[in-house]
Amino acid sequence: MKTVIFDLDGTLADTSGDLIAAANACFRQMGAGDVLCPQGDAGTAFRGGKAMLRLGLERLDHADVEAQVEQWYPALLEAYAADIDRHTVLYPGVMEAVNALQASGYKVGICTNKPEALAETLMQRLGVRAAFASLVGADTLPVRKPDPLPLREAVLRAGGDPEQSVLIGDTVTDRKTAAAMGVPCVLVTFGPDGRTVEDLSPEGLLDHYDDLPGLVMSLIGKAAA
């Protein structure tokens, strides 16, 4: 079966506000106040908790940044889990596109570098977990994106064929993941990086979810083909 796999943060949902709030909670515990900006640092938020901690610690000219990143990462995950959906929203047209893909016969799933338990909680809170046949997180397997194995696993768990799949994402990590598995990648243009993702040479660019079903068909063909 032909399968469409989605990244989560920055692709299905704008999670940046809650991610940055969790990082700032750590910086406040350090006595530094809010170091990251929900608007200006959204792009870093989509690159993960450690990236946010690293950016903030560098701004504070902290000694031994990497050691501090590792030390504070569990606290960030705890803060994020405690308030995971205060600001998070699905991007416009997401579920209409997912429903249209399923109605056409495509399998759909999720492959994210968010820890699996947090991804499961968030999708449940947003009320859309049941729409996706699989969810593979950063810790589901011993490796994470851009290693292709999590993407492959997400396809298989959805009941699909890895060779007839496409990855929808928003960063260079997704681009590298799809390339490593030899399948097309579509990058969204409505994230913080805008249309600069075109520089990553994905097989497709997505300006709005209304266009996704047609774009998927152009890249991997009709579901029944």
Do 132 and 94 contact (CB within 8 A), yes or no? Answer: no
Which pair of tokens denotes residue 11? Answer: 């692709």
In this prediction the pTM is 0.94
Q: What's the one-letter identity of residue 44?
A: T
Please tell me whether residues 57 and 157 are part of one structural domain.
no
Which range of residues forms the domain containing residue 78?
A: 16-82
* DSSP H or E stretch at residue 5: strand 3-6
Active site residue 34: no
What CA–CA distance (Å, rounded) separates 69 from 88?
24
Please tell me whether residues 75 and 174 are part of one structural domain.
no
Dihedral, CA atoms, 58, 62, 67, 72, nearest 10 degrees? -80
143-199 confidence digits (pLDDT tens): 999 999 999 999 999 999 999 999 999 999 999 999 999 999 999 999 888 899 999
The CATH code of the domain that includes 92 is 3.40.50.1000
Please tell me whether residues 50 and 7 are part of one structural domain.
no
Number of structural domains the chain divides into: 2
23-42 confidence digits (pLDDT tens): 999 999 999 999 999 989 99
Report the interhelical angle of 212-220 vs 94-103 (nearest 10°): 40
What CA–CA distance (Å, rounded) separates 118 from 133?
17
Please tell me whether residues 8 and 22 are part of one structural domain.
no
pLDDT at 53 (0 to 100): 97
Q: Which of 7, 14, 170, 193 is catalytic?
A: 7
Query: What band does 225 get if pLDDT is binned at 50, 70 and 90?
Result: low
Residues in the chain: 225
